[in-house]
Amino acid sequence: MRIKAVIFDLDHTLFDRHGTLRAIVPKLRQRFQTDPALSDEEIARMWIYADDRFVYDGWQYIFSYLQENGVFTEPVEYGDYRSFIFETFAETAVPFPFAKPMLLQLKKDGYRVALITNGQHALQYKKLALTGLRNVFDSVIVSGDVGVEKPDAEIFRMMCDRLSVKPNEAVYVGDNPVCDIDGAKKAGLYAIWIRSTRVEPAACRPDEIANDVHEIPMLLTELQKQYG
Q: In terms of domains, do 131 and 209 share one? A: yes
Which has the higher per-residue pLDDT, 148 or 199? Answer: 148
Per-residue model confidence (pLDDT) at position 58: 83
Model confidence at 196: pLDDT above 80? no
Instruction: For residues 228 and 190, give the distance between their C-alpha atoms in angstroms, rounded to a whole number.
Output: 14
Average pLDDT, integer, range 202-218? 88
Query: Are 69 and 139 in the same domain?
Result: no
> What pLDDT is recorded for position 140?
98
Percentage above 70 pLDDT, the chain: 95
Q: CA-CA distance, 45 to 88, in Å (whole number)?
A: 18
Q: Which of 15, 16, 225, 221 shows the shortest CA–CA distance to 110?
A: 221
Q: What is the mean pLDDT of residues 156-168?
A: 98
Nearest to 8 by CA among 217, 223, 218: 217
- Any idea what the CATH number is for the domain that residue 156 is in? 3.40.50.1000
Instruction: Sheet with 139-142: list strands edge to edge.
Output: 139-142, 112-117, 5-8, 170-174, 190-194, 208-210
210 and 134 both lie in a single domain? yes
State whether 120 and 197 are in the same domain. yes
Q: Indicate whether 144 and 214 sit together in one domain.
A: yes
In a shared domain, residues 185 and 197: yes
Q: Are residues 145 and 205 in the same domain?
A: yes
From 50, 73, 92, the end of a domain falls on: 92
* Domain span including residue 51: 17-92
Q: Which residues contact 185 (CB under 8 A, 6 or more apart)?
A: 191, 204, 207
pTM over 0.85: yes
- Domain closes at, from 92, 121, 144: 92
Claim to verify: residue 73 and residue 113 sit in the same structural domain: no
For residues 57 and 117, membership in a common domain is answered with: no
Residue where a domain terminates, one of 92, 117, 134: 92
For the chain, how many structural domains are there in total?
2
Q: Are 176 and 204 in the same domain?
A: yes
The dihedrals phi and psi of 8, each to the nearest 5 degrees, come to -120, 155
Dump pLDDT digits (tens) for 41-95: 999 999 999 998 887 788 899 999 999 999 999 999 999 999 999 889 888 888 8
Query: Is residue 108 domain-shared with residue 219, that is, in the same domain?
Result: yes
Are residues 74 and 9 located together in one domain of the fold?
no
> Alpha carbon 42 to chain centroid distance?
24
